[in-house]
Amino acid sequence: MSSARAMEQDQATGRLAVTGLTVQVATPAGARTVVDGLSFTLEGGKTLCIAGESGSGKSMTALSLMQLLPKPMARVSAGTAMLAGRDILALPEAAMRAVRGRSIGMIFQEPMTSLNPVLTVGRQLGGAISAHGGLSDAAIRARALELLDQVQIPEPARRLKQYPHELSGGMRQRVVIAMALAQNPQILIADEPTTALDVTVQAQILALIRKLQADLGLSVILITHDMGVVAEMADDVLVMQHGQMVEHSPAGVIFSKPRHPYTRELLAAVPRLGEMAGTTAPKRAGESADAAKPTHAEPLVAVKDLTVRFDIKGGILQRPMQRVHAVEGVSFDIMPGETLSLVGESGCGKSTTGKALLNLIPWQGQISVGGRATHGLGARAMRPVLRDVQMIFQDPYASLDPRMRVGELVAEPLQIHGLASGSELADRVAYLFDRVGLSTDQMRRYPHEFSGGQRQRICIARALSLSPRLIVADESVAALDVSIQAQVLDLLQDIQNETGMSYLFISHDMAVVEQISHRVAVMYMGRFVEMGSRTQIFENPQHDYTRKLMAAVPVADPARPRRAFMEKAEDLPSPVHALDYTPPRHAPRDIGGGHLVWEAR
Amino acid sequence: MVAETGTARDPSPETSPGTPSVLTRLLRRPLALAGLVIIAVVVLAAALAPWLAPYDPYEQFFDGLTIEGAPLPPNAQFWFGTDLVGRDLLSRLIYGAQTSLVIGVAANGIAVVIGSAVGISAGYFRGWTDTVLMRFTDLMMAFPALLLAIVLAAIFRPSLWIVAMVIAMVNWVQIARVTYTETRSIAERDFVVAERAMGAGAGRILLRHILPHLLSTIIVWATLGIATTVLLEATLSFLGIGVQPPIPSWGNIIFENQTYFSSAPWLVFIPGAAILALALAFNLVGDALRDILDPTQQGRH
């Protein structure tokens, strides 16, 4: 009895000491070490951030601590992790089940996939609460309500009856956190908990984790690739590269005096909001670019009153029942050689706007590209327009046919438009590979043989092959590591400086937008709320929503005061309306120099 | 996790420019080679039947039956034994290969082509094309296949090619259903949207981008179809609307002799084994083809 109590006492401190953790995965060529001799100590009540780029072994570390590695392909080959006097890496499965949930709770990246879509929130939360048995239904319900209240979900009683798809992304992640906390663990492992969320929601979730930590005395291991999140959260930081620890220091030291070159590299690659203050051109624009830019040319693309609505069909006859107002009366111009950025959170209609420019979805309004109106054009009539407008998608792997060689993929647009054949085609493709910084002897490989950044370069080469005048870049760097992201952004800007290309740059990342844009439009619920030059938007934001977006961006500076806890989460207004709904129209207010603000009243 | 392993993989060493042809790579796989050999043997047997068969397949030998009138088991004179009326089983099998190849390969092949074409067009174009094609497919599915075959065979005068057509007409529906579902999910994927964004026409998207992804499914269904179509032909022959006796086919050899299964099992086992071997051979080759044609399945690490 007394030993058990002592253990509980010890456990309550939430101190975890890891020594020499080594994880190997099986490959046909033999074992490959993905985590190499990692040692660290998580002190009770503190936050340890494990930072690194994809493939650095940070997720493997988290999974091995929970004994959740995908066996038998991956295994812990050496090392110990002492928690409350026991080595949790050596515990048998039955004993480990008592550790999971009770001693260590875990949150994953994508809240939708870590919840079961066919069970209500109440059932899933109840399952987590009673996982080790012995509670009455009333007690489970009371505990569930208490947990939902703890993670700041409004109207907890109603939420218990809802299904995951009825909740917003931030709400779902709160439910996942509530489940992880159900058994009062002392340690919380969060693996990229906010990567899939919008910035404003990310700020709320991070603040929530900090509050829970203060209230419950949790120790937190936070795994992230985002140095901004590290600065917001960490007491201690562990930087990993290729499975090895390259630096382990207190947060203040990492940011002010990084010792290892890799840490410095990582920090240098992070775009910082506000670092462009006082300039008007994008980061890499040469001195000549401004002079070369024609001042009052015809706009390359003119969009007027673009409206996109989707019908939701239902009933026996599949009649339209409701309507999604994805984009509502958006107007903008893009000048030659200009980058216009669309910023907003997921579901605001920014990708839909980009797709409408290429006629990939049905829309109403007027769009003209190089003087040609594109409304209602069929696939064949659209072809000459598509030579002027091309698109780069978010996920470079998904947008390349995995069964074709990359050389063929890059040649394809030229063949479709009949622009080149034979040796001319081969020369042109070789030139494009060279242009985006790939070597021509990689042409015979398949997409899966390339890294994420290289694949995005292939997508860029494909888009460039038609020598378009506008490229729609839809979250084109969002899926890339920061260092790769910086390289791809540089490439895009170099191409612009060289050829006078225009970009419609669609992104949720304010810091990236600040680097690359000439002009910025902020979108919310299918409408523009503010549009103006980069300086106007970033140095003099007028709309509340713009300010909110900027305040939410995590800043890679631990000295900056951490933001106070925010009020309860709110549901987003829904873009789904009845069929007879006519949206109100707002006129923009010009507050000088083309800086337009739409009031949200 | 998934993203990490996906991007962490190092570009593997060079796929040399002299990548061997599909056939060479097929021959390097022992199982695929075995399959090709079996297919070659059956094709040769069918093509060279008049020269290969030891006897006339229709001749009822006087010494082909025992004194009691029972068929002979395999022996030195009749290698595979004789059937109920004293005909040489080996010769009938060799001639039967002609019929069974036409049914199993041609009829089944036509069914696969029709089924895939219907499924892919309905899945990609959606809208009215989808409604018309898939409701028609459902209609055909709801109709008992055997009854339909009987009606069709009764309308036309029975002959081998009519039987092949009838079998093709009733067998395409399953493939249409399966390819339809898969096409719908592939058509939603980013790379197809990317193709549309660069102005690719429907033909290019369907043939060069969607069809290759469906090949593995189609190959599996096509090889499964060989055994079922050969047996469907036997059923039709048994009902008197298929290949007319005394023309041999592997299916009707089994049906003619199945009542004597306990006393003369070789009459069912040997043609049964032939059908099995042919289906297995196509399956092995199909499997190997699927792996060879999928670049992400190459075993380089």
Residue of B nearest to A27 (CA): B301
A390 at B interface, C-beta within 8 A: yes
Residue A542 in domain: yes
Residue A170 in domain: yes
* More confident call, B76 vs A392: A392
* More confident call, A296 vs B281: B281
- Which candidate from B12, B194, B199 shows the least CB-CB separation from A382? B199
Residue A334 in domain: yes
Residue A563 in domain: no
Give the end of a domain, one of A269, A285, A311.
A269
Residue of B nearest to A472 (CA): B197
Q: pTM for this one?
A: 0.78
Residue of A nearest to B190 (CA): A399
Residue A565 is predicted with a pLDDT of 58
Is the distance from CB of A60 to CB of A69 less than 8 angstroms?
yes
Task: Fill in the amino acid letter for B165.
Answer: M
> What are the C-alpha distances in Å from A475 to residues A308, A489, A513?
20, 11, 10
Is the distance from CB of A491 to CB of A284 less than 8 angstroms?
no
* Shared-domain flag, residues A240 and A377: no
**Contact across the interface for A55 and B7, Cβ inside 8 Å:** yes
* Shared-domain flag, residues A125 and A237: yes
A457 at B interface, C-beta within 8 A: no
Residue A376 is predicted with a pLDDT of 83
CATH architecture of B26-58+80-296: Orthogonal Bundle (1.10)
- Which candidate from B190, B200, B296 shows the least CB-CB separation from A448? B296
* Shared-domain flag, residues A197 and A61: yes
A73 at B interface, C-beta within 8 A: no
Residue B7 is predicted with a pLDDT of 37
**Contact across the interface for B212 and A383, Cβ inside 8 Å:** no
Residue A399 in domain: no
Is the distance from CB of B12 to CB of B296 less than 8 angstroms?
no
Give the end of a domain, one of A269, A288, A306.
A269
The whole-angstrom separation of Cα B276 and Cα B270 is: 10
* Shared-domain flag, residues A249 and A317: no
DSSP letter string, A167-230? S-HHHHHHHHHHHHHTT--SEEEEESTTTTS-HHHHHHHHHHHHHHHHHH--EEEEEES-HHHH
- Which candidate from B10, B12, B15 shows the least CB-CB separation from A444? B15
Q: How many CB pairs under 8 A join A and B?
A: 109
pLDDT tens, residue by residue, B105-138: 888 999 999 999 999 999 998 888 888 999 999 9
Q: Consecutive sets of 10 residues in chain A, 601 residues long: mean pLDDT of each?
A: 47 78 81 88 90 84 88 84 88 87 86 85 89 83 90 85 83 89 90 82 86 89 88 90 89 87 84 73 60 63 91 77 86 91 86 90 90 85 90 87 90 90 90 89 86 88 91 87 85 90 91 89 90 89 88 77 62 75 80 80 46
Average pLDDT over residues B189-212: 89
The whole-angstrom separation of Cα A352 and Cα A112 is: 22
| Length of chain A counted residue by residue | 601
A467 at B interface, C-beta within 8 A: no
Distance from the Cα of B30 to chain A's closest Cα (Å) equals 20
Distance from the Cα of B51 to chain A's closest Cα (Å) equals 45
* Shared-domain flag, residues A257 and A375: no
Q: Cβ neighbours of residue A375 under 8 Å, at least 6 residues apart?
A: A363, A364, A365, A366, A367
Report residue A215 as tokens.
């209230």
Residue A569 is predicted with a pLDDT of 57
- Which candidate from A54, A442, A454 shows the least CB-CB separation from B8? A54
Interface of A with B in 84-123 (CB under 8 A): none
- Number of domains making up chain A: 2
Residue A492 in domain: no
Which of B5, B7, B16, B189 has the highest number of chain A CBs within 10 A, making it the mutation to test binding with A? B7
Interface of A with B in 406-445 (CB under 8 A): 412-413, 416-417, 441-442, 444-445
A30 at B interface, C-beta within 8 A: no
pLDDT bin (cut points 50, 70, 90) of residue B200 is confident
The answer to whether the complex's ipTM is over 0.90 is no
Is residue A106 classed as helix, strand or coil in its secondary structure?
strand
Helices and strands of chain A, counted as H and E runs: 21, 23
**Contact across the interface for B11 and A452, Cβ inside 8 Å:** no
Task: Fill in the amino acid letter for A115.
Answer: L
Say yes or no to pLDDT of B2 above 60. Answer: no
Task: For residue A509, give its domain range.
Answer: 297-381+504-553+581-601
Which chain A residues touch B194 with a CB distance below 8 Å?
A: 391, 393, 399-400, 459, 462
Q: What is the CATH number of the domain that holds A325?
A: 3.40.50.300
